[in-house]
Homo-oligomer: A and B are copies of this chain.
C-alpha cells in the first residue's frame, strides 16, 4: 500500500515511537477519492496519484494519510489533500462526517481486502470533489484524472496497491456507477 511515510507529518511522535505504536494499536487514517463533478453533481473523473512506495515500487494510489493526535478528521483530510495535490486544488470537504465506507488495512494479507505491510490501519474513506488545479507534491510523481470507465479498467486496477483498487470501485458504486 502506498500510505506516505509518516515522519513528515508527525511532530508529536518520533519515528521509533510511531513504529512501536504500529505494532500495538490500530492506526487511524483517512482515504480521499478526488473527483471532478459536472454541474449536476455527476462524477466525470477520479484522481489517482503515481507514487514510489517505501519499498521502491511504483504504483497508483488515492490520497491517504494518518490522523494526528488532537487533530480533527476534517483537518487531516484537508492537510493530506493539500500535501498531495498542492495548494491550488480547492478540495470541497464533505459536509457530513459519515464516510462512504471504512477500510481496514491489515499487515497480514487475507484478513480483509486491504493490506498494509507496516501496520493495522483503519481508514475512513470519503469522496472529495476537487475544483482547482492539482500538482503532485513530495513523493508523488504524477497526478492523473481518469474517467470512471478508465478507472475500472483491469490494467489500471492492477496498478493500484494495497486494496485501494477495491476502495475506488466502492466509491464509484456509491456515486451510482
Please determine whether A122 and B92 come into contact, CB atoms closer than 8 angstroms: no
Within 8 A of B (CB), among A106-136: 106-108, 111-113, 120, 122, 124, 127, 129
* A28 touches which of B26, B37, B92 (Cβ 8 Å): B26
List, in ascending order, chain B residues with CB within 8 A of A111's CB: 70, 72
The 0/1 profile, CB within 8 Å of B marked 1, for residues 8-48 of chain A is: 00001100010001011111100000010101111100000
- A97 interfacial by beta-carbon distance below 8 Å: yes
Chain A interface secondary structure, helix, strand, loop or mixed?
loop
Of B37, B69, B100, the contact of A93 (CB 8 Å cutoff): B37
Q: Are A176 and B92 in contact (CB under 8 A)?
A: no
A interface residue count range (under 10 / 10 to 19 / 20 to 34 / 35 or more): 35 or more
Contact A25 B78 (CB under 8 A): no
Check A146 for interface membership: any CB of B closer than 8 A: no
B78→A40 contact, CB < 8 A: yes
Closest chain B CB from A35 CB (angstroms): 6
Are A95 and B173 in contact (CB-based, < 8 A)?
A: no
User: Which chain B residues border A101 with CB–CB below 8 Å?
Assistant: 96-98, 173-174, 176
The answer to whether B96 and A100 touch across the interface, beta carbons within 8 angstroms, is yes
> Beyond A35-B95, A96-B174, is A69–B102 a contact (Cβ under 8 Å)?
no
- Asked whether any CB of chain B lies closer than 8 Å to the CB of A71, the reply is yes
Which 5 residue pairs are nearest across A and B when measured between Cβ atoms?
A: A41-B93, A173-B173, A40-B74, A170-B173, A97-B102
